[in-house]
Amino acid sequence: MRHRITVLGAGYAGTSAAGYLARHLHTDDFEITVVSAAPDFVERIRMHQLAAGQDLRRHGLAEMFAGTGIRLRLARVTAVDAGERTVTVTDGGGADRIGYDTLLYALGSTVADHGVPGVAEHAFHVAERPAALRLRQRLDELGEGGTVLVVGGNLTAIEVATEIAESRPGLRVALTTSGELGGWLGPKGRRHLLRAFDRFGIAVHEHTTIERVEETGAIAADGAAFAADATVWAAGFTVHPIAAASGLDVEDDGRITVDRMMRSVSHPEVYAAGDSAYAIGENGQPLPMSCASAGFTRMQATAAIIGDLTGHKISKVSLAYLGNCISLGGKDAIVQFVDGDARSRSWSLRGRPAARVKAAVLKGTVWNMNNPTYGLPTRRHRKAVAPRRPAELVAD
């Protein structure tokens, strides 16, 4: 019997993890299955562009995994039983249970409504492709002269507001944030951000907490009303409740508690990567939910899986968060670097040079996803006769 490795999710963490494992593990000893609800790899960091009206190239998972030995199961994960080592999925044929020997949990995150009434019923978001397409359809319906309200003040909110304002200049765009817009940026970066918002004509309402969303706008905690034909909720992300119900140890926010090697602290045959993992960075703080964190945690998780199953030493991947790359429409951006404590440095890259960096990041990321094994898999590592204990043979 081959050792069954099941990867849940085909986002940035799951897709690249499956490819890396396929490239390094021998097919005689290991069977790799990826479970995905969608047939395509979704460029989540470009959903604001899709919503604003840009057409993105399709990246079919079946084509991406062709010739790699990876088995693709198109189904939605509905439950994980860590004790029984099974995953319950549903597809057009109904419910099914998949057994695993090793599980990599990479289901990612979705929009967080923070319990605000009306968000689910009336607000749009860009955390998933179908949601971004619904927003796009609504913007198409508005045509010229409509009003769009973006709620949130961090990366997603900034990119959504500026992309819509640039792509659809006939719309009036406003943004509300409970703090300062871009308050975490260095002084030069924040000045550049505010100038961009002025250039696009985006109205900014700082220190404004939205406590209710209605069909025709939103109401702030101080009673202020913001009329809007479309309200876009971009006030953070949350993980799916599946992990919390699985028997795995999780944090208060539902993310899986992992050790330095991305193993579940309660079930070492389960690994987590991406937004689903509560991983502590080099600065002693939890890594934020982001594409960058997905890369670091994926690399560490796959190194640990290969080491644990084949007996090879596990190299430690640096979990240092380097900064933010923020699009301000298609021709402007900010690359804000941070120090070891995740505080913004005084300098940043801005304008067209930063936009070129962001474009290179997008291009490089999608190339990696479309070439999950960088060509033909080497499959050189065989399964160890007696896999080692998790704490053993970890390289410094």
Degrees, nearest 5: CA angle 169-174-178: 150
For the stretch 343-391, pLDDT in tens is 777 788 999 999 999 999 888 888 888 777 766 567 678 888 766 555 5
Same domain membership, residue 199 and residue 164: yes
The DSSP bridge partners found for residue 90 are: 76, 95
Same domain membership, residue 177 and residue 91: no
Same domain membership, residue 255 and residue 213: no
The answer to the question of residue 161 being in a domain is: yes
Where a domain ends, among 186, 210, 233? 233
Q: Which two tokens stand for residue 370?
A: 């479309």
Q: Which pLDDT value is given to residue 361? A: 87
Q: Which pLDDT value is given to residue 375? A: 62
Same domain membership, residue 214 and residue 245: no
Same domain membership, residue 37 and residue 102: yes
Same domain membership, residue 284 and residue 248: yes
Same domain membership, residue 263 and residue 224: no
Give the structural domain span for 304.
3-108+240-321
CA gap 75, 88 in Å, rounded:
9
Same domain membership, residue 55 and residue 28: yes
The answer to the question of residue 286 being in a domain is: yes
Same domain membership, residue 306 and residue 158: no
Q: Which two tokens stand for residue 27?
A: 């097919």
**Locus of tokens 């004790």:** 83
Degrees, nearest 5: CA angle 245-251-257: 90
The answer to the question of residue 339 being in a domain is: no
Same domain membership, residue 39 and residue 16: yes
Q: Which pLDDT value is given to residue 5? A: 98
Give the chain's residues under pLDDT 70.
340-342, 374-377, 379, 386-396
Burial of 88 (0-12, 13-18, 19+ CB in 10 A): middle
Which secondary-structure segment (H or E) carries 38? none
